[in-house]
C-alpha cells in the first residue's frame, strides 16, 4: 500500500463562497467557522460567504483560507480518511500543522491573522513585487538572478516550468526582462501586496517568532514537509524556527512533493479552495494520484479512495 498525503493550498486560491456548502451541510465544518469567529477580531464567515473586497487583502485572506481549508479537513477526518504525511504551500503549511495535531486550529488561525498583517505591512506599498516565470528551468532562472541588480530571488519553486520571483519592484521588472531574453516563455507580474518569500520580509519573519513564542506546539502525529527545507519535520523543536524562516525563504514545493513521493506517497489529496496544487502535480509527477476536495460534491472522489 502506498502512502496518502494531505496537502493544502496557499494564498491566491481564495474565492467568495469557499467552504459555505460544508458550513451548511456538516456540524464539524460549521464548528470550525464558529471557532474562527470566536477567537478572531474579524468576521470570517462574512469574509468567506458574502461578496466583499477584503477577501483578497493579505491580512484577511490568510485567516479565511485556513478556516475554509480546516473546515473541509474536519469532514474528511470524520469520514475516516487518514493521512500518512502532510504539506501545505506557504500559508497552507499551517493547515498541515493542524492536520498533524502540531498546533490547535484556534492557535493556527490566530497566528496567521498576525502573519497576514506582518506580511502586508512590512514593506511599503509599491516597493516590492512578484512575477511568475513560465517555461524556463529553475537552474537557468537561478543563473540569471545571480547577476541581477537589487533584491530579487526565487519565492516559489511551484513545479517544472512555473517559478515565482520576488523582491524590489525595479529589480523584479529588470530580472523579468533578462529572463525573457534568456528564454522564458512568459513573465507575468502578480497582483500581490508585497514581495512575499523574499529577504525583504525578514523583519516580518522575526516578528512572527514573537507571535509564536506563547503558542503550544507538539511533535507531529504525522510528519509534514517544511516549505523552507523540503525535509520532513518530526520534532516540535523545529516547528517555530522554520515557520519564521518560511516568511522570507523560498517555498520549495516541487522539492517537497518529490521528497514525499520518494518516501512512498502515491495519493495526494488537496484540501481547500481551488485545485492549484493538483495542477502542479500533473507537471511534477503524473504517475501518482491527485484529487482535490473544495466542495461537498468533491467528497465523492474521497469515497472511491475509502472504498465506500
Active centre residues (catalytic): 90, 197
Measured in degrees and rounded to the nearest 5, phi and psi for residue 262 equal -60, -25
Q: Residues 138, 131: contact at Cβ < 8 Å?
A: no
134, 133, 173: which is closest to 150 by C-alpha?
A: 173
Q: What is the CA radius of gyration of the chain?
A: 18
In SS3 terms, the chain reads as CCEEEEEECCCCCCCCCCCHHHHHHCHHHHHHHHHHHHHCCCCHHHHHHCCCCHHHCHHHHHHHHHHHHHHHHHHHHHCCCCCCEEEECHHHHHHHHHHCCCCCHHHHHHHHHHHHHHHHHCCCCCCEEEEEEECCCHHHHHHHHHCCCCCEEEEEEEECCEEEEEEEHHHHHHHHHHHHHCCCCEEEECCCCCCCCCHHHHHHHHHHHHHHCCCCCCCCCCCEECCCCCCEECCHHHHHHHHHHHCCCCECHHHHHHHHHHCCEEEEEEECCCCHHHHHHHHHCCCCEEEEECCHHHHHHHHHHHCC
The answer to whether residues 249 and 96 touch, using CB atoms and an 8 Å cutoff, is no
CA 13 to chain centre: 9
Task: Please report, in angstroms and rounded to a whole number, the separation of the first and last CA atoms in the chain.
Answer: 18
Amino acid at each position: 500500500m502506498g502512502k496518502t498525503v494531505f496537502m493544502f493550498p496557499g494564498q491566491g486560491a481564495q474565492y467568495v463562497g469557499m467552504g459555505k456548502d460544508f458550513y451548511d451541510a456538516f456540524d464539524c465544518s460549521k464548528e470550525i467557522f464558529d471557532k474562527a469567529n470566536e477567537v478572531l477580531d474579524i468576521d470570517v464567515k462574512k469574509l468567506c460567504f458574502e461578496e466583499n473586497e477584503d477577501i483578497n487583502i493579505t491580512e484577511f485572506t490568510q485567516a479565511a483560507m485556513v478556516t475554509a481549508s480546516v473546515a473541509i479537513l474536519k469532514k474528511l477526518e470524520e469520514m475516516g480518511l487518514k493521512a500518512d504525511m502532510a504539506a501545505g504551500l506557504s500559508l497552507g503549511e499551517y493547515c498541515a500543522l493542524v492536520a498533524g495535531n502540531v498546533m490547535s486550529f484556534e492557535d493556527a488561525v490566530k497566528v496567521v491573522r498576525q502573519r497576514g498583517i506582518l506580511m502586508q505591512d512590512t514593506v511599503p506599498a509599491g516597493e516590492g513585487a512578484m512575477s511568475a516565470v513560465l517555461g524556463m528551468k529553475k537552474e537557468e532562472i537561478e543563473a540569471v538572478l545571480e547577476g541581477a541588480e537589487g533584491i530579487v530571488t526565487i519565492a516559489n519553486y511551484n513545479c517544472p516550468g512555473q517559478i515565482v520571483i520576488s523582491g524590489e519592484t525595479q529589480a523584479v521588472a529588470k530580472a523579468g526582462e533578462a529572463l525573457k531574453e534568456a528564454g522564458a516563455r512568459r513573465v507575468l507580474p502578480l497582483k500581490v501586496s508585497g514581495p512575499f518569500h523574499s529577504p525583504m520580509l525578514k523583519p516580518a519573519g522575526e516578528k512572527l517568532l514573537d507571535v509564536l513564542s506563547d503558542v503550544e506546539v507538539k511533535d507531529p502525529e504525522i510528519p509534514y514537509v517544511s516549505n523552507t527545507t523540503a525535509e520532513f519535520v518530526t520534532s516540535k523543536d523545529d516547528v517555530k524556527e522554520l515557520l519564521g524562516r518560511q516568511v522570507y525563504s523560498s517555498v520549495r514545493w516541487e522539492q517537497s512533493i518529490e521528497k514525499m513521493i520518494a518516501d512512498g506517497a502515491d495519493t495526494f489529496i488537496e484540501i481547500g479552495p481551488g485545485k492549484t496544487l493538483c495542477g502542479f502535480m500533473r507537471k511534477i509527477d503524473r504517475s501518482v494520484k491527485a484529487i482535490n476536495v473544495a466542495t461537498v460534491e468533491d467528497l465523492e472522489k474521497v469515497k472511491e479512495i475509502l472504498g465506500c
